[in-house]
C-alpha cells in the first residue's frame, strides 16, 4: 500500500465554464490530471458531499436532501474518512458547517465563521502545521466564499421567480465572477503553501467542486438546488497523484467515483460487511487506460414558491455524454436533451426518440429506487 497523505480542497459552487476560461485553473493541468466532465449527484452541498465521502448515491445512504444529514446510514456505509482513520491517518476537516459532510472518522472537526474568519489564512496555517506531523494525514479544506457571497447578494434578496434577477444576466455574471476570482486567489495561496512544504511529493491532492451555481440561465433557479441542468450538475476535478503523469480526461465520470478512486490509489480495499459502492475507481483513466462510461444519476428538491426545499427529491435525471433524461416527479413530466448538439438544454426532445427515452427511463427508475 502506498502511504500518501490525502488533501481535498473543495471549491463550493465552482462553475465549470469559469474553470475552463481561467488561466490559473488551466495552468494546473501541467501538474494535475483534469476531469472536465464530472457529474455531481446533487446540485446542493449536503447531498453532494455525502455522496462524495461515501461513494454512494443518497437514494441508498439516506442523505438525499437538505434535511437528511442525520439520516445517513452510518452503520451500513463506511466513509472515506473512516477508512483512512482505521489506517492510523490523522484526519481533520475545516469547513463552514457541521452538517455538510459525514463527521464520523474525523480526529478533528472544526468550523469557521463564513462572515468573520480569514479562510485562506486558517487553511494555510493548517497545511504548515500538518507538514510537520510524523504520521500520514487526511485534510479536508472547504472554501465557501462563493456560497457565502451568493447567499448574501442573491438568496437573501431575490426569489426563484424574481423578474429583476433574470433580467440582469450581465450583473449576475459580474457578481459571480468577482466571487470566483477570489477563489482563484485562495487556491493559488493554498497550493503555493502545499508546494513550499513539499507536500505535493507525498500527497494525493484532490481539488473539486460540489456543484455549480446559476447566473440566470433558467427562470425558477437563482442559485442552485432547483433543477437538474448542467450548469449546476456538471463540475470538475483536478487530482495530483505523485509520480503519475498528468492527463486531461474528457470522459463523463461521477462524483461518487472519487472515494473509490482514492481508496484504490492507496491500495485500500472496501470491507464486505458494508454496503457496496455506487462509484468505481477512476485509476484506469488516470493512468491512460480505457473504462466504460457509466450513466450518472442526479436528483434534487425543487422548492418552487415554498421558500424551503421539500424533504424528498422531486426532480431526477440520468445522463450520458450525449443524452440527458429529466423526470419532474412533482408534475410527472419529462425532458430529453441531446447534449452534444444542445449543451444549454434549450430544446426538449421528449417524444421524438422513444428508444433512447425507454433506455434512460429504465435506468432512472432503477437508480432512484
Reported as a single tens digit per residue, the pLDDT across 223-236 is 999 999 999 999 99
Q: Where are the domains of the chain?
A: 5-286, 296-368
Considering Cα of 186, then 170, then 298, then 300, what sign does the dihedral take? positive
Mean pLDDT along residues 12-30: 97
Tell me, what's the pLDDT at 1?
A: 60
Reported as a single tens digit per residue, the pLDDT across 264-306 is 999 999 999 999 999 999 999 999 999 999 999 999 999 887 7
| Architecture of the CATH domain 296-368 | 2-Layer Sandwich (3.30)
> Reduced to 3 states, what is the DSSP secondary structure of residue 278?
coil
Question: For 15, what's the count of Cα atoms within 13 Å in the CB-facing half-sphere?
Answer: 23
Split at pLDDT 50, 70, 90, the class of 197 is: very high
Mean pLDDT along residues 36-56: 97
Question: For 251, what's the count of Cα atoms within 13 Å in the CB-facing half-sphere?
Answer: 16
Tell me, what's the pLDDT at 40?
A: 98
Tell me, what's the pLDDT at 305?
A: 72
Tell me, what's the pLDDT at 309?
A: 86
Split at pLDDT 50, 70, 90, the class of 114 is: confident
Reported as a single tens digit per residue, the pLDDT across 299-336 is 999 988 777 888 899 999 999 999 999 999 989 999 99
Strands 315-319 and 296-300, bridge-based pairing: antiparallel
Helix (H) or strand (E) holding 264, with range, is: helix 258-265
Superfamily of domain 5-286: Alkaline Phosphatase, subunit A (3.40.720.10)
Reported as a single tens digit per residue, the pLDDT across 151-182 is 999 999 999 999 999 999 999 999 999 999 99
> Reduced to 3 states, what is the DSSP secondary structure of residue 194?
helix
Q: What cell was used for 365?
A: 427508475
pLDDT of 110 > 70? The answer is yes
Amino acid at each position: 500500500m502506498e502511504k500518501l497523505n490525502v488533501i481535498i480542497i473543495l471549491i463550493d459552487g465552482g462553475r465549470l465554464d469559469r474553470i475552463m476560461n481561467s488561466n490559473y485553473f488551466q495552468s494546473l493541468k501541467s501538474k494535475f490530471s483534469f476531469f472536465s466532465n464530472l457529474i455531481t449527484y446533487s446540485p446542493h452541498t449536503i447531498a453532494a458531499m455525502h455522496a462524495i465521502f461515501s461513494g454512494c448515491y443518497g437514494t441508498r445512504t439516506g442523505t438525499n436532501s437538505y434535511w437528511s444529514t442525520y439520516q445517513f446510514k452510518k452503520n451500513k456505509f463506511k466513509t472515506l474518512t473512516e477508512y483512512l482513520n482505521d489506517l492510523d491517518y490523522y484526519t481533520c476537516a475545516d469547513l463552514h458547517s457541521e452538517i455538510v459532510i459525514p463527521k464520523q472518522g474525523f480526529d478533528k472537526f472544526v468550523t469557521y465563521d463564513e462572515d468573520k474568519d480569514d479562510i485562506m489564512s486558517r487553511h494555510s496555517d493548517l497545511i504548515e502545521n500538518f507538514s510537520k506531523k510524523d504520521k500520514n494525514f487526511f485534510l479536508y479544506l472547504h472554501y465557501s466564499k462563493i456560497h457565502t457571497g451568493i447567499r448574501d447578494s442573491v438568496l437573501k434578496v431575490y426569489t426563484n421567480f424574481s423578474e429583476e434577477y433574470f433580467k440582469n444576466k450581465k450583473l449576475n455574471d459580474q457578481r459571480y465572477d468577482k466571487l470566483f476570482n477570489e477563489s482563484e486567489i485562495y487556491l493559488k495561496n493554498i497550493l503555493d503553501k502545499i508546494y513550499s512544504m513539499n507536500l505535493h511529493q507525498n500527497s494525493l491532492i484532490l481539488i473539486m467542486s460540489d456543484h455549480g451555481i446559476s447566473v440566470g440561465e433558467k427562470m425558477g433557479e437563482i442559485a442552485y438546488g432547483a433543477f437538474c441542468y448542467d450548469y449546476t450538475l456538471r463540475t470538475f476535478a483536478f487530482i495530483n497523484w505523485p509520480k503519475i503523469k498528468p492527463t486531461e480526461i474528457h470522459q463523463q465520470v461521477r462524483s461518487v467515483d472519487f472515494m473509490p478512486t482514492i481508496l484504490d490509489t492507496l491500495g485500500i480495499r472496501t470491507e464486505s460487511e458494508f454496503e457496496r459502492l455506487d462509484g468505481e475507481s477512476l485509476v484506469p483513466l488516470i493512468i491512460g487506460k480505457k473504462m466504460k462510461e457509466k450513466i450518472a444519476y442526479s436528483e434534487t428538491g425543487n422548492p418552487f414558491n415554498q421558500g424551503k426545499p421539500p424533504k424528498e427529491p422531486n426532480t431526477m435525471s440520468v445522463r450520458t455524454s450525449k443524452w440527458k433524461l429529466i423526470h419532474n416527479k412533482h408534475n410527472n413530466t419529462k425532458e430529453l436533451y441531446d447534449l452534444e448538439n444542445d449543451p444549454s438544454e434549450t430544446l426538449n426532445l421528449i417524444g421524438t426518440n422513444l428508444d433512447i427515452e425507454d433506455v434512460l427511463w429504465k435506468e432512472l427508475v432503477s437508480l432512484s429506487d
